[in-house]
Structure 1
């Protein structure tokens, strides 16, 4: 049974132009007792049809429009069409022997908001972003079995309160993997864990940036990688000929994880520095010790809270960048990155401009990156194109 949701006039036009998220603030009227996964028909205030989709609470939305056609059925055949198209678009990636990890299906960019599918060397990871999307689980897995040859499939459920990860056995079908699973990215090796929480060990959306660091910026340089997670940027820098890398992250597990990533690339981790410390405390330490770096990589989370500090990219990125500028050598490079969808690239440039002005330093933009092609986006949903990376030379 389908439920009708009425959208306020000022939101209706945006949705007609292809905006797929059914926002909580856009709703004028709907049945308060809709079940997660229920099919919904979206209409404007005069009852004109806008689209059809499903009900599923996720962040600021309560569902996604999946089709603009009244008569199109949302069933296994529907998902088959969209996932088949995603396979076709990424055929070249399957043929590339130097890269064995990439995104196969990117939510609304591939036509189904609330769902992503990643490929890791003959294994797939399906991520569900709402209980509503999870109701289509049987259809999605049936399609995957028909279209893909795989060793195994894992899933991540990100639909607990506020999008947090649901702890569960992530294995779905096929054979369980032996971990770490080694994958390649532009010839670099990464150790992956598909059975160990919401994150697997490397962020696939940064592959072009890692390649650029390795190929263009690392040779003969001393590199600082902040918010380093498992050290993937440090691996790229070391493989690119950096004289030394320093990886800094507050999480204790970043130490063994970074050692592992160096080791699977035959890099002697004892020749690198791996520091478990709050990044802002490290900046103070580096200044006190007179340390300066040729390359500084800044890729903080959009929001983070430690015992002593709260960081919000939207509010605090300018200050973070000031700290980085202070320990970047003249003619050195800063890789400024954010995955925060709350502001645009233009706004990000104002943060950069403000930080350099406050530090009385000049700069030149060398390169910019957004999401790679496998992270397909649509123009009508700007929030989906979240990644902003600006590579800057300090003059």
Structure 2
């Protein structure tokens, strides 16, 4: 019923040896779309996209535990409507206790040698989106002088920018909880994390405010959700990304760059590029894609994530 999990683990065996202990051990393209399995140190996180009985869920969790030699396996149920139901069915979609083994509320795992706090039972999102690992590594190697990290979540991009030598990094998110989590991640790497670098509030409002102040950044990072509701209204990436691109361009320095991510299988790379161009035009800026990044090797044949590096003109 289930794929050869030991074989899939063997394909990723080099990752822990290279300093990465949080990664994807089985992707949807390797499980006929039924499930994905993420590793966070000694813990497994099983994301279920198809319907199984309770007994089948336990059987799959046990198979994952044996293949990964896990101390515990947590379950995330991800039906199509999960992103809309996450607030009303939280305990069903993301049970706080493991489906198999012992509880591990928090664990420190490594990505390219950088430690991150992972909370396997906290929510559908456990602290790091592992498909963006190559993009975070790019940020660390790009060493921009100043960085604005929007939709920061637990600040993985901002942390890598700081580790790469950026002199100024600002992280923006609508959740105080994840910004505090990001400050904990900074602390794990021995970096200062003053509250002034962690900006709470709506990203669009902050972009307007920063533009009004005349602030500009050498690199602006855009990693929005594909769908979200807030007091300001509903955000749909396939319709609204051009507006975000325009506001980001307004705070990007001459000859600066924008790292734009889109996690949406229904939007092609070409359509994404067209949307972004439209946003630049609306901001009276021009630019071009100079690099296209992809999910890591632990995401074979994945097409959901688009990552474009835009070089803006002066």
Q: CA deviation at 1:305?
A: 1.0
2:99 aligns with 172
Q: Does 1:389 align with 2:310?
A: no
Q: Mind listing any 5+ residue stretches in structure 1 that lack a counterpart?
A: 1-74, 378-383
Q: TM-score, normalised by structure 2?
A: 0.91
- Count of equivalent residues: 306
Q: Tell me, what secondary structure is at the counterpart of 2:75?
A: strand
Shift of 1:352: 2.0
Correspondence for 2:234 among 310, 315, 337: 310
- What is the CA–CA distance in structure 2 between the aligned matches of 1:286 and 1:344, rounded to whole Å? 31
Quick one: structure 1 residues 169 and 359, their matched pair in 2 at CA, closer, same or farther if it must change by over 3 Å? closer
Q: Which residue of 2 aligns with 1:199?
A: 125
For 1:123 and 1:239, the matched residues in 2 are separated by 26
Alignment root-mean-square deviation, CA: 2.0
- How many angstroms does 1:344 deviate by? 0.2
Any residues of structure 2 matched to 1:29-44 within 5 Å, and which? none
- CA distance 1:100–1:306, shift in 2 (3 Å): same
Counterpart in the other structure of 1:118? 38
- 2:111 is aligned with 1:190: no
Query: Equivalents in 1 of 2:125, 2:54: separation in Å?
Result: 19
* CA displacement at 1:158 relative to structure 2: 2.5
**1:251 corresponds to 2:175:** yes
The match for 2:8 among 86, 93, 96 is 86
Deviates more, 1:133-142 or 1:363-372: 133-142
How far 1:267 sits from its partner (Å)? 0.6
Taking structure 1 as the reference length, the TM-score comes to: 0.73
Aligned to 1:347: 271
Distance between the aligned counterparts of 1:162 and 1:137, measured in 2? 18
Equivalent-residue separation in structure 1 for 2:226 and 2:126 (angstroms): 18
How far, CA to CA, are the matches of 1:315 and 1:132 in structure 2? Answer: 34
- How many Å apart are 1:161 and its aligned residue? 5.0
In the TM superposition, residue 370 of structure 1 has moved relative to its aligned partner by 2.0
Whole-Å Cα distance in 2 between the matches of residues 174 and 226 of structure 1? Answer: 36
- Give the whole-Å Cα distance in 1 for the aligned partners of 2:15 and 2:142: 23
Which residue is equivalent to 1:213?
Answer: 139
Between the aligned partners of 1:193 and 1:365, the Cα distance in structure 2 is 35
CA distance 1:111–1:299, change in 2 (3 Å): same
Larger Rg: 1
Cα distance, 1:160 vs. partner?
8.5
Partner residue of 1:240?
164
Give the 3 Å change call, closer, same or farther, for CA 270–84 of structure 1 in structure 2: same
Compute the displacement of 1:332 (Å): 0.7
**Larger RCO, structures 1/2 (Cα 8 Å, 6+ apart):** 2
Secondary structure in 1 aligned to 2:248?
Answer: helix
CA distance 1:194–1:264, change in 2 (3 Å):
same
Distance in 1, matches of 2:80 and 2:250, equals: 40
Q: What displacement does 1:153 show?
A: 1.7
